Structure 1
Amino acid sequence: MHARSMVALTILAGLALLASSSLYVVKETQTGIRLQFGKIVETDIGAGLHMKIPVYNTVRLFDTRVQTLDTRPSRYLTGDRKGVIVDSFVKWRIVDVTRFYQATSGDQQVAASLIAPRVDQALRNEFGRRSLQEIVSEQRDELMAGPMVTLNRALAEEMGIAVIDMRVKRIELPTEVTASVYERMRSERQREAREYRAQGQEEGERIRARADRAREVLLAEAQRDSEIMRGEGDAIATRTYAAAFGQDPEFFSFLRSTQAYQAAFNSPDDLIVVSPRSEFFRFLDNSSGRQ
């Protein structure tokens, strides 16, 4: 009985080993190929449970999800012969498993080593066509559109992969040219500042000149108007005095004499030497003013 149990267990173990080596599972994120002594006999095996002949068949599974390749920063020359350091990455996935296996033997490290030079070449060609000003000012999506199309076409034919996205993470100037570029930018900003100051001073001079001219015009007009008004006032006063003098000449002679006396003897120390019979004192001797 013990011997029968051992035989049964051995048979069960053999069957389990045969089943494990004959059955395989492909996940939803995978695709597979079946090989017969190294030759592809079935490709694009979908998700699920599948069978194979042990030893006779070999199955290789591949991840069909999007993969990311971070390339090393590289130095490129722009169209105007300026050096820039570019750091980029590429997102790709397998679309033709047969071509991918034939190109890389299913090794993703080999795939990365084949993709990286292609990325470098596509970026080098694109940056070589554009000036530094265009590279800095244009949108990154527009900058990478051309290289992405070129790279996708080449890799699809050679390796059976599709480029999903291609981006530049950063663009930097080499250390040896950074100082000169900054100095050139500083000089350009200073030149613009001088131009703005000169324009401001010129405009300020024009404004001050207009203000001074307006001031002189206002003063001249005010002086003219005041002289006119003063002349008119003097004319009115003269006419008034003349009319008043004409009504009573003796009274106004007396009034002028009293004003002269007040002005002559304004202080106790005032002294005047004149003949008592002088015309000046005629109203002191006689209130009527007669000699």
Structure 2
Amino acid sequence: MRFLLPILIVAAVFVGLNSIFTVKETEHALKFRLGEVIRADFEPGLHFKMPFINNVRKMERRIITLDMRPEQMNTAEQKFVEVDYYVKWRIVDPRAYYVATNGDMMFTRSRLAQLIRNDLRDEFARRTLSEVVSEQRREMMEELLERADERFQDFGIDVIDVRIKKIELTEEVLNSVFERMETQRTEFANELRSLGRERSERIRADADRQVRVLLADAERDAQRLRGEGDARAIEIYAQAFDQNREFFSFWRSLQAYDTAFGTENDIMLMDTRSEFFRFFDQQRDD
């Protein structure tokens, strides 16, 4: 009896310790009875079980990040790009998760990675390089997330996010992109030069037209002013002639003499009795 009491105490302590278990806020817990799941809705705290009959298995409740290795994917243009992406998921139904995967986290990661990879390859194959690096990438990720969430509902998990961290071009694609950019820039530059030459021709033609119009207007105004000046000069000459006809005739003759005998070496053979020398004759008579 002396030795039986300590054994009973130890047994009681052992049974007591194996009759309780705790569930943390970051955990899901499944209670089994002889290998069958009998409860999966434990709240965080202290719970009880039957020793040797019930056993408990715990699973992660928090969001799990599956960081994928960068992989080469082909676009609709048959251009390979290296895609670095990740998947965020969590267990929302521990019972369904255990039934689908036997609670094997490695199997879940492998299956999730395989399906997401295949869907992502399909999405890249449907789009061009410019589309996968533009705003359409957000639309592609939303479609991929929706599809993945539907596929894994039977697994008892919720795919929260599928995100591309970066897309790197291979050396071949980089060269192709640079060549295309250079071609586009060259075409754009040629177009600008063509537009510049066309505009330059229009400006020159308009300037030439304006010059011709200005010259024509100036010539017209000059002819008009010359005509007005000649008419005014004739009017002045006429008025002067009417005031003293003899003096005006003498003045005009002096201008003619000055024009005819411009230098000392000028020689003119004329009849001295002509009208041109009438004032010389008058002075000689005087």
- The TM-score bracket by the shorter chain reads 0.7 to 0.9
Equivalent pairs counted in the alignment come to 281
Letter in 2 for 1:132: L
SS at match of 2:152: helix
SS at match of 1:60: strand
* Alignment correspondent of 2:137: 140
* Alignment correspondent of 2:179: 183
Shift of the 46–239 alpha-carbon distance from structure 1 to 2, 3 Å rule, reads same
TM-superposition CA deviations, 1:174-230 (whole Å, max 9, x none): 223321232122112211211111111111111111111111111111111111111
* Alignment correspondent of 2:106: 109
Structure 1 residue 254: Cα displacement: 3.1
Moved more, 13-22 or 224-233: 13-22
* Alignment correspondent of 1:93: 90
* Alignment correspondent of 2:73: 76
Structure 1 residue 163: Cα displacement: 0.9
Structure 2 residue 157 is the aligned partner of structure 1 residue 169: no
What is the CA–CA distance in structure 2 between the aligned matches of 1:284 and 1:143, rounded to whole Å? Answer: 119
Structure 2 residue 150 is the aligned partner of structure 1 residue 153: yes
Structure 1 contact 254–283 (Cα < 8 Å) conserved: no
* Alignment correspondent of 1:128: 125
Structure 2 residue 61 is the aligned partner of structure 1 residue 64: yes
Moved more, 141-150 or 256-265: 256-265
Letter in 2 for 1:176: E
Shift of the 23–63 alpha-carbon distance from structure 1 to 2, 3 Å rule, reads same
Which structure 2 segments of 5+ residues have no match?
none
* Alignment correspondent of 2:237: 241
CA RMSD of aligned residues (A): 3.1
What is the CA–CA distance in structure 1 between the aligned matches of 2:76 and 2:260, rounded to whole Å? Answer: 102
What is the CA–CA distance in structure 1 between the aligned matches of 2:17 and 2:210, rounded to whole Å? Answer: 106
TM-superposition CA deviations, 1:94-142 (whole Å, max 9, x none): 1110121223332323321121001101111222222333323333321
TM-superposition CA deviations, 1:129-181 (whole Å, max 9, x none): 22333323333321112221111111111x21011111111223222332123
Letter in 2 for 1:202: E
Shift of the 98–281 alpha-carbon distance from structure 1 to 2, 3 Å rule, reads same
SS at match of 1:151: helix
TM normalised by structure 1 equals: 0.83
Structure 1 residue 284: Cα displacement: 9.8
TM-superposition CA deviations, 1:34-57 (whole Å, max 9, x none): 122332121122211101123322
What is the CA–CA distance in structure 1 between the aligned matches of 2:260 and 2:211, rounded to whole Å? Answer: 45
Structure 1 contact 257–283 (Cα < 8 Å) conserved: no
* Alignment correspondent of 2:252: 256
Moved more, 128-137 or 194-203: 128-137
Structure 2 residue 39 is the aligned partner of structure 1 residue 52: no
TM normalised by structure 2 equals: 0.84
* Alignment correspondent of 1:216: 212
Letter in 1 for 2:223: E
Structure 1 contact 140–167 (Cα < 8 Å) conserved: no
* Alignment correspondent of 2:194: 198
